[in-house]
Amino acid sequence: MRKLNALIMAALTVLIVWHGLSGSFMLLEMNAGMSKFVAWAAMALAALHAIISLWLGARTLKASRGGKLYLRQNARFWAVRASGAALIALLALHGAFGRVRSGQFVLFEFTTARFAVELLMAAALAVHVLAGLGPLMVSLGVPGWRSKHDGALLFLAVLLLFFAAALTVYYIMWQWL
């Protein structure tokens, strides 16, 4: 089950990067369209990942029931779980970002509340992905993952900063232009 979840996470990472890049370019008015299929496929994989992760997490907690939780030693484990729970809540709000009208995706007015939700989602996604990257690479059996870990972390961190920058520019355009 862990191997299946790892494969789902790898595919989900690719789809989220694709969705985030196309959405960011759309917000910056550099690209007119975004693949609806990618967004829905990512949502389906995210739901499947959440279900499997909740099941695996419950098994882990049940196995450690007799002992201590070792919160400090398992900070990465808990960071991934907490950020995942935040993502579940924030994804429901992210879906209310716009709608399709006459075959084109139209964004709703970008208020301060929507901006805050989107930035919180980007932050939760950053914590979730960056804290879970090492365990994902181990689960996939990537040899020498420690030497590749820093480059992958840097790449994902730069992408997430780009997503946040696109949201910020879009918010500024709504508020002051």
Please give the DSSP secondary-structure letter assigned to residue 104.
E
Selection from 56, 76, 82, 74 nearest residue 3 by Cα? 56
Residue 68 has pLDDT above 80, yes or no: no
> Average pLDDT, stretch 22-40?
79
Dihedrals φ, ψ of 6, to 5°?
Answer: -65, -40
The whole-number pLDDT of residue 85 equals 92
Residues 93-149: tens digit of each pLDDT: 886 666 767 766 666 777 888 889 888 988 998 899 888 887 887 777 877 766 666
- Evaluate whether 151 touches 87 at the Cβ level (below 8 Å): no
- Mean pLDDT for the chain overall: 82
The whole-number pLDDT of residue 110 equals 78
The whole-number pLDDT of residue 103 equals 66
- Looking at per-residue pLDDT, the higher value among 34 and 61 belongs to 61
Selection from 166, 174, 172 nearest residue 25 by Cα? 166
